[in-house]
Chains A and B, each alone.
Chain A
């Protein structure tokens, strides 16, 4: 049974491969991945630019993310608002996201809008406009985004402080949205030079999945995007995070009903052979109600409302973070202790084969679920291409996960989950807190 499920998933992923991803590279260096899928009359077109907050420096932190916003504010042919006006009128919708490593533009539209989208995307990559008035207005929007996602969010605030403590040298130190003073002071010159380094076609991978004809996508890409000249890619990120020399602790005091805790360990980048092992470790720890941390902290000991372990895909070494929402009246020292005991158990005792297979099954089924939609597949193909160097690794990831052994888990847990390598960030409620378990005044019913 255990192998049967793995076998079936393998078939499933292999079948996805037979969906037949076509690739091409334009003469200006932009790589294109295309997967035809005619189930619904829609298309997902994603652009993965290899530029993110890791390419910034103090003084311009957050500028990659600001750029993501500016890309919707007008270019030469399609002026301010036109990208959205034309797209919505053609039945399409868009979004974009910026991370430490990437800026990704995501377009979802009916098959009838393909040429319009190619035209508008090429326009803004080549000829973005820089209107001082629009820049000021968008600065307000970005600050509002920061206020919502960081300043008025306990999780956002704590996570920002955690990263800033865990990384002292590498650019993963600063937040993607940027420090407040930088948001307030980017200049037009900063923006223009940043656009030049980040938005080279050779720094981008385009992924198109959906109701398209491959030849048509390629013809349109050649017409609209190929004429855009190649440029120097962003300079390499030289700074490496030096090894951590001892535990770091951060306390945030903030108005809150309950405390919050995030504990991070330095772990390697996406391309490391330890990545699939760490994925399995994260699943063992917190995926599903049968996971170790859920069972121990949420269920058995009732110390936490929720617990989640995970790490993102990154170009450079990153952190795995365990986020714990302690219950009311529970000292965060207790949740912390329980976590360390569970991590120590991973180090000292080999995982039983059934539990290991369960974690793998959860991971594989989860991965497969992401492939249900054209948007999900565009996202996965692009991420495997940029982070793992080859989209086709998406179709062999099941083998890599299946190969993870109990010994691998122990080795990885011993390597990374050490006291010296961890950063502990705790948010403690400030100001008057009402006592636990007291009801509201009677008579309100």
Chain B
């Protein structure tokens, strides 16, 4: 088994980012078909039939999400979530840099399905190169009449704006993204109301990930049945998997869902460096609970990962090999979420902070066995108790590391304590020790 390139079929074509090359390879035919030959309901129906699930992390059916948008004459919006900040994920970067028109076309089709006349691509500010490329692509699409008023002579108008964020992980959360797009601090909102009913500027809003929207032109061109031939069960289609960490060939690999995870980690990415083994791996970005090497033979699908107690998430595999101590890794992870917590909900703001403090304590040799119990308890108290899942995103992997590798945490703590005790003795030279002994004798 190897890669199944559908989204990435033309990715190595030179100058694919220009509209001329994209059109030569059949680009914008799907948008043309959706605008001129299909009713909006048919477009929506096709997307629903395909079984395409959101590629951003939650894995919710895209067609179903679009069908929740109420009909009517109010202003509706489409938002493309290109704030790819989940550690381990870098698939959208590749798509936007190499094939920006595919995303523009996907946005047009998404706009038709949602009945939206205004779309925004919210791209993270760090992706300056990719945002420049997208800006150029949008300008080209306007020039050729794929965007703007009454596109290609149809009744549908669609404007698209590339909006750059300024560096905040939480803006990848859909309601945080909406607040950032409205020019505020990117704090998540209470749900319900869901964005489909009340989103951007209080209007109904469809929010989809870059990869999800890039699938739309393929589904419209080839039909839902064609799309369903890839994948397994309710995980239809192909998925771009970003493999990183301790592997020999990190990168983006597009596979049909259902491929064994081992094939991805060892077959495509080359496995850990010579002489090392997989200790654990994140199947869906750093927010996903870790799995061990025993889980490598599971099929890589939304369902199988959920059954194993983790999630497919954004489809980013981070491999941790057996040379890596886990406490510093957990600490780095927790520090990330502490930094990125917006501070709105107490369990997340305090929970991430105390998790970092406890892990630091363990790492510096000041932890006690009770800390591990408290650590576990804190994770439990974060999960499910906040407006968004940022806190859970730290709690789940940290709790899973503790679950699978508790003895390593205990050993690390003991070793650190031993080192600390030794260090406390070290600054004393032989003279001091001698005088101390004398004092003791006296």
Do A and B truly interact? no
**Interface set of A (CB-CB < 8 Å, partner B):** none
